[in-house]
């Protein structure tokens, strides 16, 4: 490990600690909730194949670029971009996209915690069911026995109609996130990732094998991997690109921030590839875990955002050991969500430390509490404020509730904008020798990366941005 010079003086204790934390940041609700939802709604195969292309052609070069900026800058996102700009003799005004990223991370955190709160609620529901099953001497029975399909699926509506319960779950999840981030990079974030990520992978592999054995794997594989190209409409492509950015945590300066804690001199190509492969692998495994169960019970794969929260709990009723597996399944999502939410909070927290000179505990508290408050508006949007449309003047958001509006605005506007500015900055403005030195890329790999970041990314991301903002162009 090399001497350090971050504003915070903090750093990862090893290369593998960084990789685990970065994979933890990437793997989250995006993989296990959003990806299967989108794949189901978009008709499967063609979406999945196009998504994989987006990850490797656009996402991976951006992952490398963000980590590069952080590693070269060694401080919060805005400061790191400024430093790289300075060293390349270009305007420090580029620092602005670090600021946009920090705001996006803050906004995503606000609703992410609310959705993670739903997961927490289901951990409770299945946990209590499992305790009852064990009490009844039948720990391997199906879940929620004796409840009708309406009752099980109605739970989500009941939860949404109950602001107090939503608030309690949101508070618990945000509290945990804040607690970890306030403890710092080494004893908070790194420790959480090194404990939770191995646990996550064991659960993921275990439940996927279970799904393959008891569920309908043949239908699932056909659904996920047989492309029907007529389903690849511009809207679906747009969704796939947006999902690739979200899932890899791109455009919010998260990987810049995590990259700034790298102290060694290792190359970044292999590390970036590992993050992209792991994130995509988890999304695909999540699909192979969820759809066999959904198909086995004859449910609709295109159920939308409620797929995981309504369809699956019902499916677990008729599955062997459904109570136990259901419980483990929601624990798995919760674990994934925590290692992502801490990365979201870390971005503005590092900014407060690096740019405002705040202490870590103060910075984390200010932004954690702030995101908690914005999150309250999101959860009230499901009940008392269900008529509120915060961007009502914008046709794209005229019909969406508060949570979906913030999700849509960050995903369709802020992430693509952050990614576009990153690719223009790194692809066109930054000194090439610095990139080669810091990333360790050379020869053909460097040329390939440069082509993708300087040409393909800006063009493709501009298309997402424009078509996302003005869907009418797509007809």
Minimum CB–partner distance for residue 415 and ligand PHE (Å) = 8
CA distance 208 to 425: 41
Nearest alpha-carbon partner for 46 in 222, 205, 249, 288: 222
The sign of the CA dihedral 475, 394, 382, 309 is positive
Q: How many CA atoms lie within 13 A of 462 on its CB side?
A: 9
The answer to whether 252 contacts ligand PHE (rule: CB under 6 A) is yes
Q: Is 333 exposed, middle or buried (0-12, 13-18, 19+ CB in 10 A)?
A: buried
29 binds ligand PHE (CB under 6 A): yes
Is residue 62 near ligand PHE by the rule CB under 6 A? Answer: no
DSSP state of 142: P
Q: Which is nearer to ligand PHE, 133 or 415 (CB)?
A: 415
The CA-atom distances, in angstroms, between 287 and each of 26, 217, 396 are: 16, 10, 29
Q: Which of residues 388-447 bind ligand PHE (CB under 6 A)?
A: none
Q: Are the CB atoms for 339 and 196 separated by under 8 Å?
A: yes
Q: Does 114 bind ligand PHE (CB under 6 A)?
A: no
Sole binder of ligand PHE in the list 11, 30, 59, 416 (CB under 6 A): 30
- The Cα-based distances of 169 to 142, 151, 392 in angstroms read 25, 21, 28
| Least separation in angstroms between CB 243 and ligand PHE | 9
- Choose between 75 and 113: whose C-beta lies nearer to ligand PHE: 113
Contact flag: residue 272 with ligand PHE (CB under 6 A): no
Least Å distance, CB 249 to ligand PHE, is 3
Does 177 interact with ligand PHE (rule: CB under 6 A)?
no
Which stretch, 21-29, 207-215, 220-228, 358-366, contacts ligand PHE (CB under 6 A)? Answer: 21-29
**Number of neighbouring beta carbons within 10 Å of residue 388:** 13
Tell me the HSE value of 396 on the side-chain side, using a 13 A CA sphere.
Answer: 19
Shortest separation between residue 294's beta carbon and ligand PHE, angstroms: 21
Distance in Å, CB of 51 to ligand PHE, minimum: 13
**Under rule CB under 6 A, residue 31 binds ligand PHE:** yes
DSSP 8-class letter at 94: G
Q: Which of 17, 20, 23, 26 binds ligand PHE (CB under 6 A)?
A: 26
**How many residues belong to the site for ligand PHE (CB under 6 A)?**
16
- Which residue number places its CB atom closest to ligand PHE? 30
**CA gap 203, 334 in Å, rounded:** 12
Nearest-angstrom CA–CA distance, 256 and 344: 12
Residues 77, 344: Cα–Cα separation, whole Å: 13
Q: From residue 331 to residue 370, what is the string marking binding to ligand PHE with x (rule CB under 6 A)?
A: ---------x--xx--------------------------
- Out of 7, 20, 22, 25, the only residue in the binding site for ligand PHE (CB under 6 A) is 25
Q: Which residues bind ligand PHE (CB under 6 A)?
A: 25-26, 28-31, 105, 108, 246-247, 249, 252, 254, 340, 343-344
């Amino acid at each position: 490990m090399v001497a350090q010079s971050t504003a915070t003086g903090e750093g990862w204790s090893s290369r593998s600690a960084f990789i685990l934390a970065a994979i933890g940041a990437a793997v989250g609700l995006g993989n296990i909730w959003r990806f299967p939802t989108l794949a189901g709604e978009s008709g499967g195969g063609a979406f999945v194949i196009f998504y994989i292309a987006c990850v490797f052609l656009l996402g991976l070069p951006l992952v490398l670029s963000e980590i590069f900026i952080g590693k070269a800058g060694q401080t919060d996102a805005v400061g790191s971009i400024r430093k790289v700009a300075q060293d390349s003799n270009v305007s420090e005004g580029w620092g602005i996209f670090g600021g946009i990223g920090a705001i996006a991370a803050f906004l995503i955190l606000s609703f992410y915690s609310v959705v993670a709160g739903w997961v927490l609620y289901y951990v409770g529901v299945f946990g209590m069911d499992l305790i009852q099953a064990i009490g009844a001497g039948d720990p391997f029975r199906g879940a929620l026995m004796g409840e009708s399909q309406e009752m099980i699926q109605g739970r989500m509506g009941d939860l949404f109609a109950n602001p107090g319960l939503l608030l309690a779950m949101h508070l618990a999840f945000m509290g945990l996130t804040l607690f970890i981030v306030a403890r710092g990079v080494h004893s908070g974030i790194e420790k959480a990732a090194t404990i939770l990520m191995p646990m996550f992978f064991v659960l993921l592999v275990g439940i996927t094998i279970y799904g393959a054995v008891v569920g309908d794997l043949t239908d699932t594989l056909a659904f996920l991997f047989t492309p029907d190209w007529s389903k690849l409409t511009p809207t679906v492509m747009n969704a796939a690109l947006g999902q690739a950015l979200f899932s890899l945590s791109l455009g919010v300066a998260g990987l810049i921030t995590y990259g700034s804690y790298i102290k060694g001199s290792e190359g970044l190509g292999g590390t970036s590839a590992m993050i992209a492969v792991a994130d995509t692998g988890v999304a695909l495994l999540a699909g192979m875990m969820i759809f066999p169960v959904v198909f086995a019970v004859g449910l609709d794969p295109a159920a939308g955002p409620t797929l995981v929260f309504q369809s699956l709990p019902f499916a677990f009723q008729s599955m062997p050991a459904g109570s136990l597996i259901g419980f483990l399944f929601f624990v798995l999502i919760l674990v994934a969500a925590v290692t992502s939410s801490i990365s979201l909070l870390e971005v503005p927290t590092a900014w407060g430390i690096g740019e405002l000179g705040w202490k870590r505990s103060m910075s984390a508290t200010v932004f954690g509490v702030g995101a908690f408050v914005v999150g309250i508006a999101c959860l009230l949007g499901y009940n008392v404020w269900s008529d509120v449309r915060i961007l009502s003047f914008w046709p794209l958001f005229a019909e969406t509730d508060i949570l979906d509006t913030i999700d849509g605005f960050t995903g369709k506007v802020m992430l693509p904008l952050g990614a576009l500015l990153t690719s223009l900055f790194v692809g066109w403005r930054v000194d090439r020798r610095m990139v080669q030195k810091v990333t360790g890329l050379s020869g053909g790999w460097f040329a390939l990366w440069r082509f993708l970041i300087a040409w393909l990314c800006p063009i493709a991301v501009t298309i997402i941005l424009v078509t996302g903002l003005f869907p009418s162009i797509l007809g």
